[in-house]
């Protein structure tokens, strides 16, 4: 089991992402700096459990998380950018 990283800064990394059919580098500081965030991962996009339970539950609880000081929730997946954009 992984331990919580609550209160720790997100490490500085560069994400290779797709935006408007072009590759764009996004730095973690540009995304997360000055925010309290939740980052969770999914084993795959469109898998039954991920689509029906994991992702919807974070959406349902966003208001409660926001009241506790969470600014954003980010989902990471091992799928390629084309699948994730869908």
Residues serving a catalytic function are 50
Residue 25, φ and ψ in degrees, nearest 5: -90, 125
State how far the Cα of 32 lies from the Cα of 14, in Å rounded to an integer. Answer: 12
Closest to 77 (Cα-Cα) out of 43, 28, 27: 43
């Amino acid at each position: 089991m992984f331990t919580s990283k609550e209160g720790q800064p997100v490490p500085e990394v560069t994400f290779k992402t797709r935006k408007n059919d072009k590759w764009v580098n996004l730095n973690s500081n540009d995304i997360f700096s000055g925010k309290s965030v939740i980052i969770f991962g999914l084993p795959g996009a469109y898998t039954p459990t991920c689509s029906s339970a994991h992702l919807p539950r974070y959406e349902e609880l966003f208001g409660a998380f926001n009241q506790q000081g969470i600014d954003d929730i980010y989902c990471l997946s091992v799928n390629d950018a084309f699948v994730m954009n869908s």
